[in-house]
Amino acid sequence: MRPDRPDETRGSVGVAAPGSAVAESAWIPDSLGGWVDYAAWLGEEILILVGWFPAPDGEIEFALERDGQLESLDACFESYARSDPPPEDPSPAKVVAVRLLRPPRAASRMGRLAVRSGDRVLTLGPSDLSKSLTDLDTLLLGGLVPLPARDRGRLADFLAGVPRKLGLPVPFETSRALAIARDLLCESPDPVVIASEEPRGLHVDEIFSIDEETFFVRGWLHDREARVVDLRLVSPEGHRVSVFDTLHRFRRPDVEKFYAPAGAEHSTSTGFCARFGTRGPSRLPHGWRVEMTNAEGDRAVTAAPPVIKDPERVRRALLKQLGGETRPAETLLTDHLAPALNRLQTRLMDQVAVAEITEYGATPAAAEISIIVPLYRRLEFLEAQLAQFVHDPAMREVDLIYVLDSPDQADALAISAPQLHDLYRVPFRVVTLDRNGGFSAANNLGVGAARGRLALLLNSDVLPHHPGWLGKMRSFYDETPRIGALGAKLLYEDDTLQHAGMYFDRQPGNDVWLNMHYFKGMPRSLPAANLTRRVPAVTGACVLLERALYEELGGLRGVYVQGDFEDSDLCLRLFERGLASWYLPDAELYHLEGQSYPSAARSLNTRFNAWLHTHLWDETIQEARAAFPYEAMAGGACPPGDGEETEDGGADE
């Protein structure tokens, strides 16, 4: 299939370049020897060529030739050894991927494909190409499958990376085509047999997608004969990634027991998990493979189950990995879980947007304060809050925003919200998110819709103890220089303290800082809890701050899982700027804590969040602790600093 001499008609090859035109004149047409064996489309914008193109100086460029002008095309290639090139030119054969629009989409920009090396060019007209143009399967079977296994694996990996190199998205069809290519090019050895007498075993329990290019794999391996020296994952599209160097390994008593009868003394059976990236997107759930190699070169291969993509399941699995070990290596968190969870959280948070804002009643356009209340699942809290807000004339003056973070309840809320407004006559707005975004996203998007100079974040399970609290918080905030966040006194249902400010503490022998609440469980009237004072941090269940400041800081950080530590993270960012958190006992509210979501999952979330919080803030926390010794706080003394000392707050009943 050597190309003909240039086509007399010099017609179009029906391809069009996406790039900008680069004027070229100094070239010698049709002066480059070489040929195309196969050409095939990979998706709608990539033309794959298999052929021999001599490249005296090692460089080849691809261009579109029109009216004597060359337009440079994005392309990449991979070489491989072949016996049929002319002996005078030892250039290797090549698999080339060129970014071109596939006809008929390209109809508007016609041209001929030009391959250039130095000042020599090979142009390919339609008849040249039509002889070699085929489907991808034929290209692979005829051109690449006969090659030695070493080349095939490399070329499969090259093909998988083509869309990324050309800066193109990978639609589902391209993924499918790549998966077929991988299956044709990479031999699938028989999967390893799992039996206790076998020398090797390899199993993938689960593989999770963090995003399209980041994955988390969990499984176990076993080799009785030699040290394992490599572990690679192969995506359905052909991406080949070694995860061995960063692999987190942990004991699997079940696997150890399984292989024990056959002699365990040399066994290296362990559980493993790893977060890893591919060099391009992988979308296909089926077809992942794992390959293990030991020091003697023995290989074991196994197929992975389908990729789990549901972010909630992925998050649970990641946290479960943390929960599976009492004292996990720091690298499990730093190399695997934290980057994976952060990426997952960020991705989830970036995906969520405001779907709709509905106004019930005339909410004041020029309100001083916006109150942002995320609603998740428990819609009845809205009614419970309105039944208390209704007693407080101040609540008619505020910009009250409910952020619905469980959008599947949007219809139910759209029915009850107007009725509740009609009954309570407290104006409010409902900001409905297009998907569940979590505490941070809900608050941040709520603040994004806010109009007030001040923003008060309020949990839906917080009920005022008596009217007047908001005015007190506002006055105090406005009168206090260098204030960052202002928190209130929060009570349990039996009038004991739920929140009177927060400080940081850790257990002996544990590096992780925990958020502690001052005087938790003490009576409401405890003198020490009735001092207005600066504190290391305040709870996000009820916190007032300037809206501009909140937005400047970027709001609550979404890296923590499901509503935990965002508040102290915010206070620590304020602390870094020299802005203090204050506790105002004069503002009293009930916090019916613990009704928001079940606590089983919560302890794992907290374990991770506490670690992350410490990881991010260790130094600042130490500084904060130096400024707020617990003994001084418990005794009621204000820490040294530039804040103004104020009168005792005291409960006002």
Partner 1 sequence: MTHNHPSIVPGGVENYALELYQGVKKAGEFDPVLLARNGPPVSRAAAPHPGTRLSRVNQDEGQLFFHTEGSAFDLFRMTVPDKRLYTQSFRDVLLSYRPDVVHFQHTLFLGVDILREIRNTLPDSAIVYTLHEYLPICHRDGQMLRTMNDRPCMESSPRRCHECFPEISPQAFLARKRFIQSHFELVDLFLAPSRFLVDRYVDWGIPREKLRFEPNGRIRPPEPEPGSIELDDPERPRNRFAFFGQLSPFKGVTVLLEAMKILADEVVTDPRPRVWLHGANLEFRSPEFRREFEEQLDATRERVTMVGRYEPSELPDLMRAIDWVVIPSIWFENSPLVIQEAFMHGRPVICSDIGGMAEKVEDRVSGLHFRAGDPRSLARTIARAARDPELWARLQTGIPEVYWMEDAVKSISAIYRQLMERKRSEAAA
The residues binding partner 1 (CB under 8 A) are 380, 383-384, 387-388, 390-391, 416, 419-420, 422-425, 461, 463, 492-494, 590, 592-595
Looking from the CA of 262 toward its CB, the CA atoms found within 13 Å total 20
Of 194 and 387, the one with the shorter C-beta distance to partner 1 is 387
> What kind and span of H or E run contains 387?
helix 380-389
| Shortest CB 430 distance to partner 1, Å | 16
Of 220 and 381, the one with the shorter C-beta distance to partner 1 is 381
| Shortest CB 422 distance to partner 1, Å | 4
| Shortest CB 411 distance to partner 1, Å | 14
| Shortest CB 595 distance to partner 1, Å | 6
| Shortest CB 423 distance to partner 1, Å | 5
Of 264 and 423, the one with the shorter C-beta distance to partner 1 is 423
Strand partners, 292: 231, 300
How far apart, in whole angstroms, are the C-alpha atoms of residue 514 and residue 502?
A: 10
Of 96 and 463, the one with the shorter C-beta distance to partner 1 is 463
| Shortest CB 384 distance to partner 1, Å | 5
Interior angle at CA 325, CA 252 and CA 511, nearest 5? 150
Continuous H helices in 186-332: 253-259, 311-323, 330-331
CB-based contacts of 629: which residues, under 8 Å, 6+ apart? 639
CB-based contacts of 589: which residues, under 8 Å, 6+ apart? 462, 463, 464, 465, 469, 488, 489, 490, 491, 542
How far apart, in whole angstroms, are the C-alpha atoms of residue 565 and residue 570?
A: 9
Of 441 and 463, the one with the shorter C-beta distance to partner 1 is 463
569: helix, strand or coil: helix
Of 390 and 601, the one with the shorter C-beta distance to partner 1 is 390
| Shortest CB 387 distance to partner 1, Å | 4
CB atoms within 10 A of CB 520: 14
How far apart, in whole angstroms, are the C-alpha atoms of residue 642 and residue 647?
A: 16
Of 380 and 408, the one with the shorter C-beta distance to partner 1 is 380
Interior angle at CA 642, CA 641 and CA 644, nearest 5? 105
Of 426 and 621, the one with the shorter C-beta distance to partner 1 is 426
| Shortest CB 447 distance to partner 1, Å | 26
180: helix, strand or coil: helix
| Shortest CB 466 distance to partner 1, Å | 11
Of 164 and 378, the one with the shorter C-beta distance to partner 1 is 378
CB 369 within 8 A of CB 454: yes
CB 226 within 8 A of CB 298: yes
